Amino acid sequence: MCCEGAESTESTRKKIIAIDLFCGAGGLTRGLLDAGIEVKMGIDFDDSFRRSYEHNNKPAIFYRADVRTLNGNDLERNLDIKPTELFLMAACAPCQPFSRHINNHRYDRRKSLLLEVGRILTEFQRKPDFLLLENVPRIYKIDNGRILKKFLRLMANLGYNYKADVIDAKHYGVPQTRRRFIMLAVRKELYAGKVVFPDRIYGKGLLPYKTVRNAIAHLPRLRAGQRHKSVPNHECANMRDINRKRLSHVPKNGGSRTAWPKELILNCHVDHTGHKDVYGRMKWDAPSPTLTCRCTSISNGRFGHPIQLRAISLREAAFLQTFPEDYEFFGMFGNMAMQIGNAVPVRLAKILGEYLVNLPICRQPKFVLEGGQAWSAGNGIQIYPMKSEHRARSSGRSLQILFLGTVDCIR
Ligand SMILES: C[S@@+](CC[C@H](N)C(=O)[O-])C[C@H]1O[C@@H](n2cnc3c(N)ncnc32)[C@H](O)[C@@H]1O
| Phi, psi at 394, each rounded to 5° | -70, -15
- Strand arrangement of the beta sheet that strand 160-168 belongs to: 61-64, 38-44, 16-21, 86-91, 130-135, 179-187, 160-168
- Domain ranges for the chain, please list them: 11-209+345-361, 365-411
What average pLDDT does range 319-342 have in this prediction? 98
**pTM for this prediction:** 0.85
At residue 361, the pLDDT reads: 87
Catalytic residue among 92, 95, 236, 295: 95
Q: Does the Cβ of 291 fall within 6 Å of ligand 1?
A: no
Q: Does the Cβ of 344 fall within 6 Å of ligand 1?
A: yes
Compute CA 213 distance to the chain's CA centroid, rounded to the nearest angstrom. 24
In sequence order, what E strands does 45-116 have? Answer: 61-64, 86-91
- The answer to whether residue 140 scores a pLDDT higher than 60 is yes
Q: Is the pLDDT higher at 296 or at 388?
A: 296
Closest C-alpha residue for ligand 1 atom 16: 94
Between the alpha carbon of residue 209 and those of residues 174, 186, 205, the distances in Å are: 8, 30, 11
Compute CA 38 distance to the chain's CA centroid, rounded to the nearest angstrom. 15
95 is catalytic: yes
Across 192-201, 275-284, 302-311, least confident range: 275-284
Q: Which of 4-18, 30-44, 246-260 has the highest mean pLDDT?
A: 30-44
At residue 411, the pLDDT reads: 35
Pocket test for ligand 1, best of 39, 45, 133 (most atoms within 8 A of CB): 45
The CA dihedral of 177, 179, 183, 184, to the nearest 10 degrees, is 20
At residue 143, the pLDDT reads: 82
Q: Does the Cβ of 38 fall within 6 Å of ligand 1?
A: no
CATH class, 11-209+345-361 region: alpha beta
Q: Is the pLDDT higher at 264 or at 238?
A: 238
**What percentage of the chain carries pLDDT values higher than 90?**
70
- The answer to whether residue 363 scores a pLDDT higher than 90 is no
Q: Does the Cβ of 112 fall within 6 Å of ligand 1?
A: no
In sequence order, what E strands does 95-178 have? Answer: 130-135, 160-168
Q: What is the CA radius of gyration of the chain?
A: 24
- Atom of ligand 1 lying closest to residue 344 CA: 8
Q: Is the pLDDT higher at 7 or at 76?
A: 76
Across 55-59, 256-260, 347-351, 363-367, least confident range: 363-367
